[in-house]
Amino acid sequence: MIPFNKPFLTGNETKYIEEAVASGKISGNGMFTKKCQAFFEKTYGFKKCLLTTSCTDALEMCAMLAKIEKDDEVIIPSFTFVSTALAFIRQGAKVVFADSYSNNPNIDPSTIEELITPKTKAIVVVHYAGVACDMDAIMDIATTHNLLVVEDAAQAIDSFYKGKPLGTIGHLSAFSFHETKNIISGEGGMICINDEQFSERAEILWEKGTNRTKFFRGEINKYDWVDIGSSFLPSEVIAAFLWAQLENLQSIQSKRKEIWNHYETQLKNANLKAFELPVVPSYATQNGHMFYLISKTPEHRTALIAHLKKNNIHAVFHYLSLHASVYYHEYHDGRNLPNSDHYTECLVRLPLFYDLTLEETNHIINQIVAYDQGQ
């Protein structure tokens, strides 16, 4: 069976973990944490980066920094993972769901403005499959209405919007290093602060509501409990694993994008009847995170997944529209979000991981074409 995902190891992960253990410092904010954070700040131009134990934690920090309170409203896409919404709901917010584009799963900016009310405090965008949302349009709306923008860039490492790294455009952003992502640490994430008004408080929230980070830098002679917060920072074991990945980021990206491009070229040449290929707008790049197909009907998706499984290929569907979820449907305002529902019913993800061979990729492509030609 060709798996949907297979975590890639560079070879130095356990070496660096051993170094962290030998250093005697394996709790958070040690040498490897600082190296990883500095890498992102230098490579992509983030003003401040803080590693977290997950992207969910990073999003929760975003919600806290935005001072989201009970009855505040936050606009997010319905077609996303639950963490995008949960981080703000836990602060008491009302989540207002926006629809996707008809030709790609990202939030459609033309649907946002009509959702804004005097209670709206933030817009959260999700760069689905590492492909950028239309950030100029979204930032213009946010500026007009004095709203914060949070980029859920969980899937978007090393991807760009008009040459700008994703995660550097909104006021705050969050990344994931879950084992299904391009760069991994098992579990893990990162918050990036692009608006300096949030930098000092971010450190305090990250360190359980204390100003301990300032103390460690020698800026104050003792630390105290000064705010809310939690234990968001990961251990040095996680950071050491991540550092081994970051050292190989470009080679990992090159291989993943090569696989993505091969899928696109071969399937485009096949002129599929029952499926559409991903759309990458001219302002965006793809980062080799995910290759998916959109079936013309839900029945085609179900049948394709079964056909691939029969031929030893594990393909999967993706998000269920959050506005229709068991937990949140009773709070939704009742609007139809047809594009989000279409992706819920018709999107299928293909295997894409570093060790996927050309032979395996061609086998997947051939089986998709064989199914399509039988329709």
- What are the residue ranges spanned by the domains of the chain? 13-246, 249-373
The pLDDT score that the predictor gives to residue 306 is 98
- Burial environment of residue 120 by CB neighbours within 10 A (0 to 12, 13 to 18, 19 or more): buried
Rounded to whole angstroms, the Cα distance separating 113 from 122 reads: 12
The pLDDT score that the predictor gives to residue 77 is 98
Going across the sheet that includes 347-350, the strands are 275-276, 291-295, 347-350
The pLDDT score that the predictor gives to residue 226 is 92
How many helices (H) and strands (E) the chain has is answered by 12, 12
Nearest Cα neighbor of 224 from 242, 245, 247, 207 is 207
CA 236 to chain CA centroid, nearest Å:
22
Any idea which architecture 13-246 has in CATH?
Answer: 3-Layer(aba) Sandwich (3.40)
All residue ranges of the chain with pLDDT < 50 are: none
Nearest Cα neighbor of 291 from 258, 319, 326 is 258
As a whole number of Å, the end-to-end CA separation of the chain is: 25
The pLDDT score that the predictor gives to residue 221 is 83
Q: Which helix (H) or strand (E) holds 86?
A: helix 82-89
Q: For strands 148-152 and 172-176, give the pairing.
A: parallel
Rounded to 5 degrees, φ, ψ at 10 are -80, -25
The pLDDT score that the predictor gives to residue 217 is 82
The pLDDT score that the predictor gives to residue 70 is 96
The pLDDT score that the predictor gives to residue 213 is 86
Burial 284-315 (b: 16+ CB within 10 A, else e): bbbbbbbbbbbbeeeebbebbbebbeebebeb
Burial 33-60 (b: 16+ CB within 10 A, else e): bebbbebbeeebebebbbbbbbbbbbbb
DSSP 295-326: ESSHHHHHHHHHHHHHTTB--B--PPPGGGST
The pLDDT score that the predictor gives to residue 255 is 98
Q: For strands 275-276 and 291-295, give the pairing.
A: antiparallel
**Residue 96 · residue 74 · CB < 8 Å:** yes
97, β-bridge pairs: 76
Q: What pTM was estimated for this model as a whole? A: 0.97
The pLDDT score that the predictor gives to residue 79 is 98
Domains 13-246 and 249-373 equal at CATH topology level:
no
The pLDDT score that the predictor gives to residue 279 is 97
Task: Decide yes or no: CATH 3.40.1440.10 for domain 249-373.
Answer: no
